[in-house]
Amino acid sequence: MIPILDSKRQYATIGEKAEKEVLEVMRSGQYILGKNNKAFEEEISKYIGVKHAVCLNSGTDALHLALRALNIGKGDEVITVAFTFVATTESVEIVGATPVFVDIDENTFNMDASKIEEKITPKTKAILPVHLYGQPCEMDKIMEIAKKHNLYVIEDCCQAIGAEYKGQKVGTFGDIGCYSFYPTKNLGTMGDGGLAITNSEEIKNRIVALRNHGGAIRYYHDEIGVNSRLDEIQAAILRVKLPYIDGWNKQRREHAAFYNKLFEGAEGIETPKELDGTYCVYHQYTIKVENRDEVHKMLQENGIGAMIYYPVPLHLQKVHAHLGLKEGYLPKTEKNTKLVLSLPMFAEITEEEQKTVAKTVIECVKKCSKAGVC
C-alpha cells in the first residue's frame, strides 16, 4: 500500500527534537499563550515576510476571525470559489455573510480572475481566493480588481504555506492570510492549529482580542469573541518543524516533476500545470482522468492511496442549499470535480513508490478507457 500521505515517515526527521520540546512544555507548567506561541509568531512572520502573525486553533478559525476582524457579516457578500474545502465558505456563513461563487480556471483549479468583476454587487465586501493544492492564484489580477472596487482580500493559504507568486509568498498580498497546521498540511502539527497573518497592526490587535474572548485586557471584554488559542505543545512542535518547510516543499516539487516525467506521453492523463512566475508547493499532486471514479476504485484495489479533493462542489452541498444554486451554475468547477484525482505526495515518498504509482495509474486509466471494462 502506498498511502496518499505517510506522516510517520516525517517523524523520523523531527520526532526526537519534538519529543524533547514537548516534554519541556509539559514540565514548564505554561500551557496556553506562553513563550512558544510568541516565538513561533515571530519566527513564522519572518519566514513569510509579514509584520504580524497570530496563532489560532485552526485554519477555519483563521478564516472566520479574519472576516470578523474586517467587520464582514450579515448582508455582506464575499466572492470565493466552490472548488475548495468546505471551511472556506463555512467561515463566510459563520459570520452571517453570503458566499458568492466564481468559476475556476481549468488549468490551475483556482479562481478565474477574469470572472470576478461580473459578481461584484454593492454588497460585496471581500474577495477570498484559495491557493488550492499549493498552487498560487493570480494575485496581480485579484489585487487590481480589489483595489479598483475597494474590496478586502483574505487569502486562504491553508494548502499553500511557502508558495510564491512572482517571488512573494502567498498570504502577503491581501489584507489577511489564513493558514492551517492540520496534520496533513505541508506544515502540520500533531493536533489542530492555525494562523492569521497581516501587515496591519489594527487587524492584528483585533484578531488577538477575538481569539481570546473579545478583549485585549484579561477579564475585560469588548465584544463577543471565541476561544481559539494555539496550545503551547502544538506551538513547540511547529517551531521544531518550521526550519524544514522549505526543504520539504522543495522535495514535493521534485516529486511532482518526477511524476510529470513518468506520465509523459501517457494517454488520458492530464498532469498539473504551473502558472508562469509561481512557486507551487504541491500540497496535492492532482491529475485529471476520464472515468475518474472507476480509476480511483481500481487504484485503491491495487494499493494506491489516491484521493478525490473534493467530490462535491460547495455550491451543490446541502449546507449551501439555501443559496438556491443548481447544477450548471459553475460549469468548469462541476466538470473538474468529476475529473480530479490526487496521487500520493509527501516529502519522503521514494522514487520506487512513485514509479509504482505512475505505472499503476497508467494501467488503470488504460483499462478504464476501453468500453465495457469499467
- Asked if residue 87 binds ligand PLP (CB under 6 A), the reply is yes
Nearer to ligand PLP, 153 or 269 (CB): 153
Chain centre to alpha carbon of residue 273: 18
Nearer Cβ to ligand PLP, position 298 or 340?
340
Long-range contact pairs involving 41-47 (C-beta distance under 8 Å, separation at least 24): 43/239, 43/242, 44/195, 44/197, 44/238, 44/242, 45/197, 47/242, 47/245
Q: Which is nearer to ligand PLP, 157 or 365 (CB)?
A: 157
Residue 66: C-alpha distances to residues 179, 220, 226, 260, 270 (Å): 11, 21, 13, 37, 36
Residue span binding ligand PLP (CB under 6 A) among the ranges 13-21, 53-61, 241-249, 289-297? 53-61
* Nearest CB to ligand PLP, comparing residues 84 and 354: 84
Shortest distance in whole angstroms from residue 128 CB to ligand PLP: 10
Closest CA to 128 of 183, 81, 70, 194: 81
Q: How far is the CB of 85 from ligand PLP (least distance, A)?
A: 4
Q: Is the Cβ of residue 89 or residue 360 nearer to ligand PLP in the bound state?
A: 89
Spatial distance between the Cα atoms of 280 and 259, rounded to a whole number of angstroms: 15
Smallest distance, ligand PLP to C-beta of residue 298, A: 26
Do 65 and 210 contact (CB within 8 A), yes or no?
Answer: yes
Site string (172-191) toward ligand PLP, x via CB under 6 A: --------x-x---------
Ranges within 149-168 binding ligand PLP (CB under 6 A): 156, 158-159
Q: Considering the rule CB under 6 A, would residue 207 count as an interface residue with ligand PLP?
A: no
Closer CB to ligand PLP, 92 or 158, in the complex:
158
Q: Which residue is nearest to ligand PLP (CB)?
A: 59
Closest CA to 83 of 352, 330, 369, 303: 330
Burial per residue of 50-73, b for 16 or more beta-carbon CB atoms within 10 angstroms, e otherwise: bebbbbbbbbbbbbbbbbbbbebe
Q: Please give the backbone phi and psi of residue 305, each rounded to the nearest 5 degrees, phi first.
A: -80, 55
Q: CB of residue 317 vs ligand PLP: minimum separation in angstroms? A: 14
- Tell me: does residue 171 bind ligand PLP (CB under 6 A): no
Q: Which of 37, 59, 195, 325 binds ligand PLP (CB under 6 A)?
A: 59
Compose the 12-51 pattern: x for residues touching ligand PLP by CB under 6 A, - for all others.
Answer: ----------------------------------------
The span of 26-34, 55-63, 214-222, 355-363 binding ligand PLP (CB under 6 A) equals 55-63
Nearest CA to 116 out of 156, 161, 91, 147 is that of 147
Minimum CB distance to ligand PLP, residue 99 (Å): 13
Could you tell me how many residues make up the chain? 374
First-to-last alpha carbon distance for the chain, in angstroms, is 22
Q: Do strands 285-288 and 340-343 pair parallel, antiparallel, or not at all (unpaired)?
A: antiparallel
Query: Whole-angstrom Cα distance, residue 356 to residue 370?
Result: 22
Query: How far apart (Å, rounded) are the C-alpha atoms in residues 322 and 62?
Result: 25
Closer to ligand PLP by CB, 58 or 291: give it.
Answer: 58
Secondary structure (H, E, C), 274-340: CCCCEECCCCCEEEECCCHHHHHHHHHHCCECCECCCCCCHHHCHHHHHHCCCCCCCHHHHHHHCCE
The DSSP call for residue 246 is H
Q: Residues 105-134: x/- map of binding to ligand PLP (CB under 6 A)? A: -------------------------x----
Q: 158 or 343, CB closer to ligand PLP?
A: 158
**Site for ligand PLP, residues 210 to 229, rule: CB under 6 A:** none
What is the smallest separation between the CB atom of 213 and ligand PLP, expressed in angstroms? 20
Residues that bind ligand PLP (CB under 6 A): 58-60, 84-85, 87-88, 130, 156, 158-159, 180, 182, 192, 194
